[in-house]
Amino acid sequence: MQTRTLGNTGPKVSAVGLGAMSMSGAYGPADREESIATVRAALDSGVTLVDTGDFYGMGHNELLLSEALRGRDRDSYLLSVKFGQQVGPGMRFAGQDSRPASVRNFLSYSLTRLGVDYVDIYRPARLDRSVPIEDTVGAIKEMIDAGYVRYVGLSEVDAETVRRAHAVHPVADLQIEYSLLSRAVEADVLPTLRELGIGLTAYGVLGRGLLSGNWVPGRADDPRNHSPRFSSENASHNLALVEALRRVADAKGCTVAQLAIAWVAAQDPSIVPLVGARTRQRLAEALPALDVKLSADDLEEIEAAVPKGAARGDRYPAAFMASLGVGN
Report, as residue numbers or ranges, the catalytic residues: 56
User: Could you give the CA distance from residue 312 to residue 235 in angstroms, rounded to a whole number?
Assistant: 8
**Which are the contacts of 244, defined by CB distance < 8 A and separation ≥ 6?**
305, 306
DSSP state of 80: E
In angstroms, how far is the first alpha carbon of the chain from the final one? 31
Rg (CA), the chain: 19
90: left (phi over 0), alpha (psi -120 to 50) or beta: left
Query: Can you name the residues that pair with 152 across neighbouring β-strands?
Result: 122, 171
Contact (CB, 8 A) for 164 and 190: no
Helix 256-265 with 296-305: angle, nearest 10 deg: 120
CA contacts within 13 A on the Cβ side of 14:
25
User: Could you give the CA distance from residue 256 to residue 242 in angstroms, rounded to a whole number?
Assistant: 8
CA distances from 65 to 85, 87, 155, 278 (A): 19, 20, 21, 12
What is the sign, positive or negative, of the torsion defined by CA atoms of 291, 295, 300, 301?
Answer: negative
Contact (CB, 8 A) for 328 and 316: no
Contact (CB, 8 A) for 80 and 123: yes
Residue from 146, 149, 98 nearest 121 by CA: 149
Helix (H, G, I), strand (E, B) or coil at 244: helix
